[in-house]
A and B are shown apart, each in its own frame.
Chain A
Amino acid sequence: MPDLPSPTQVAVPAFVILVLVEMLISWRVDPSRYEPKDTLTSMMLGTGSTVAGALTGASVFALSLWIAQYQLFDIGFVWWAWPLCFLLDDLAYYVFHRSAHRVRWFWASHVIHHSSQHYNLSTALRQTWTGFISVSFIFRLPLFFIFPPEMVFFCAGLNLVYQFWIHTEAIGRFPRWIEAVMNTPSHHRVHHATNPRYLDKNYAGTFIIWDRMFGTFEAERDEDRPRYGIIKNLGSFNLIWAAIHEWVGIAKDVFTVRGLRNKLGYMFGPPGWSHDGSRDTSDTIKARWREDSQGEKEESRQPDGAATP
C-alpha cells in the first residue's frame, strides 16, 4: 500500500498564496469582492471544519475498512484504478451534492458553504462542521466495495483541492472544450447564485459532465449576473450561528409542528418546505420567477404598455 499524503494538507500553502493574490486583484479591480469580516468567518469555519474532521475522521475511516472486507473485486493499487476511482468518486460527489441541496437534513450541514454573500477563494474554505451528524459520508460508501479506502480518500482529497480554485470571480470563462467537460469558475458561480434561474444547478465537483447528463446544467449568462449567498441570508458574521443555524431551524420546526408526516417533512423535505406552504422552496421561487418573467415579456410586447388581455 502506498504511503499517501493528504492532498488538502499539501495544498494549504498554495491556498494561502492564492487568497492573497486574489485579494490584490480585488483591490485593483473590485474591492467589494472581499470583506474582512466575511473572510475571517469563512476561514475560521474552514479551520473548524478541519477540527471536526479530525474528531470524526477515524470513525469514517474505520467504517470504510469494515466495508472493504466485503470488496467485490481485488483491484488493489493498479494504475488504471486511480483515474477510475477519481471519476466514480466525482459521480458520488455529484449525488451527495445534489442531495445536499434537495434534502434539508443534508442541506443543514452543507448550507455553511453557501452562507457567504461573497464568492471568492476564501468562500471555498467555508466548510461544514456537521457533516458527520448529517451522515453525508454515506454517498461515498459504495466506492469502498470496489477500491481501497486509502485510494478513495486520496481521490476525494484531490477533488476537494480541485474545487478550491473555481471559487473566484477573477477568472471569466475558458475555451469551450474545457467548459464542456470541466467544472469551472463560471459553472460554479452559477451553483453559488441565488438568482431563480440558477437555483439548484451545477452540482459538479470536478467534471461538469454529470450535470449535463442528469439535466441540472445551467450556463452563466452575462445578462443575469450571479448574486451569491442563500435565500435567507444570515445577516450575521457569527461563526457558531453560521455553522448550526439550519439545525436550530430544523429543531424548532420539528418541535413546533404536529404530526409525524409534518415533522419528517421539516427534516427530509426540500429546504424551505413548510406544512402550510408559507415558505419558499427553490421550486416555488422558480415558478414565481417564470410567471413574473412571462408577465414582463407580455407587457413589453404591448406597444403602449397596456396590460395583456
Chain B
Amino acid sequence: MNWVVLAGSIAAVLILAGFAWLLKLGATPQIESEEAAARLARDAHSGFRPIDIALGRDGRAALLLGENGDIVLLRPHGAQIAARVFRAAPPITRAGGELKIATGERMFGDVALQLDEAEAARWAARWENQGGESADA
C-alpha cells in the first residue's frame, strides 16, 4: 500500500458516505409506543418482561423495569436503537420532567428521557425504592 492508494481509498469512502447522506438514507428512529419499547427491550435482553415503562414524549428514549429487577434503557443510535441492560439501577437525575440516566459508559453517554413532570417524579421515587440513586438537578 502506498500513500496514493491510501488517499484514494479515503476519498472513495468519503464519496460513498456522502452519497448515502445525499440520498437521506437512515433516518433517526422513534420508539412509537410502550408496546414497541417492550418489544425492543425484549429483543435486546431475551426473556425480559417489563412491568413498568417510561417512554419519552419525543419517542427518543425509553426506560423499562423488568419483573426480575433488570432494567433496560433504549435510545437511538443512527437509524437503529441501541440498548443497555442493568442488573442494578443506574443513577438518575431529575430536572422537572427530564430524567437523566447515567450509564457509566463514556462512549455510550448518558441518556435524557423527557417525561411529564408527575411521571418523572413517580419514576424518581420508584428508583429510590429499587435501591438506585436519584437526585434532583
Of all chain A residues, the one with the shortest Cβ separation from B42 is: A292
B residues 1-32 near A (Cβ < 8 Å) are 1, 6, 9-10, 12-14, 16-21, 23-27, 29
Cβ of A102 under 8 Å from chain B: no
| Contact of B17 with A43 in the complex, beta carbons under 8 Å | yes
Q: How far is the CA of A19 from the CA of B18 in the complex (A)?
A: 12
| Contact of A292 with B46 in the complex, beta carbons under 8 Å | yes
Least Cβ–Cβ distance between A211 and chain B, in angstroms: 22
| Contact of B108 with A35 in the complex, beta carbons under 8 Å | no
Least Cβ–Cβ distance between A5 and chain B, in angstroms: 14
Least Cβ–Cβ distance between B112 and chain A, in angstroms: 14
Interface range on chain B (Cβ under 8 Å from partner) = 35 or more
Of all chain A residues, the one with the shortest Cβ separation from B76 is: A235
Number of interface residues of A (CB under 8 A): 48
Q: For B87, what are the chain A residues with a Cβ–Cβ distance below 8 Å?
A: 278
Cβ of B43 under 8 Å from chain A: yes
User: Which residue of the partner chain, among A37, A50, A54, contacts B78 with CB atoms under 8 Å?
Assistant: A37
Cβ of B79 under 8 Å from chain A: yes
| Contact of B23 with A31 in the complex, beta carbons under 8 Å | yes
Q: For B109, what are the chain A residues with a Cβ–Cβ distance below 8 Å?
A: 235-236
| Contact of A32 with B29 in the complex, beta carbons under 8 Å | yes
Q: For A54, what are the chain B residues with a Cβ–Cβ distance below 8 Å?
A: 1
Cβ of A59 under 8 Å from chain B: no
| Contact of A23 with B20 in the complex, beta carbons under 8 Å | yes
Least Cβ–Cβ distance between A29 and chain B, in angstroms: 11
Of all chain B residues, the one with the shortest Cβ separation from A238 is: B107
User: Which residue of the partner chain, among B20, B46, B47, contacts A39 with CB atoms under 8 Å?
Assistant: B20
User: Which residue of the partner chain, among A20, A31, A234, A285, contacts B19 with CB atoms under 8 Å?
Assistant: A20
Q: For B94, what are the chain A residues with a Cβ–Cβ distance below 8 Å?
A: none
Chain B at the A interface: SS class: mixed
User: Which residue of the partner chain, among B10, B26, B108, contacts A47 with CB atoms under 8 Å?
Assistant: B10
Q: For A241, what are the chain B residues with a Cβ–Cβ distance below 8 Å?
A: 107
| Contact of B20 with A35 in the complex, beta carbons under 8 Å | yes
Least Cβ–Cβ distance between A198 and chain B, in angstroms: 12
Cβ of A118 under 8 Å from chain B: yes
A residues 212-227 near B (Cβ < 8 Å) are 227
Scoring A residues 218 to 257 as 1 if CB is less than 8 Å from chain B, else 0, what string do you get?
0000000001010011111110010001000000000000
User: Which residue of the partner chain, among A16, A27, A227, contacts B23 with CB atoms under 8 Å?
Assistant: A27
| Contact of A32 with B27 in the complex, beta carbons under 8 Å | yes
Cβ of B82 under 8 Å from chain A: yes
Q: How far is the CA of A203 from the CA of B1 in the complex (A)?
A: 30
Least Cβ–Cβ distance between B18 and chain A, in angstroms: 8
B residues whose Cβ falls under 8 Å from a Cβ of A:
1, 6, 9-10, 12-14, 16-21, 23-27, 29, 43, 46-47, 75, 77-80, 82-85, 87, 105, 107-109
10 further contact pairs, Cβ within 8 A, besides A20-B19, A235-B75 = A26-B23, A34-B25, A35-B25, A40-B17, A47-B13, A122-B16, A232-B85, A233-B80, A234-B108, A241-B107
The 4 lowest CB-CB distance pairs between A and B, nearest first, are: A35-B26, A235-B82, A40-B17, A117-B80
A residues whose Cβ falls under 8 Å from a Cβ of B:
12, 16, 19-20, 23-24, 26-27, 31-40, 43-44, 46-47, 50-51, 54, 117-118, 122, 194-196, 227, 229, 232-238, 241, 245, 278, 285, 288-289, 291-292
**What are some 23 contacts across the A-B interface (CB < 8 A)?**
A16-B16, A20-B16, A27-B25, A32-B79, A32-B80, A35-B79, A37-B78, A40-B13, A40-B17, A43-B13, A44-B13, A47-B6, A50-B9, A54-B1, A117-B80, A118-B78, A227-B43, A234-B77, A235-B84, A235-B107, A235-B109, A285-B46, A292-B46
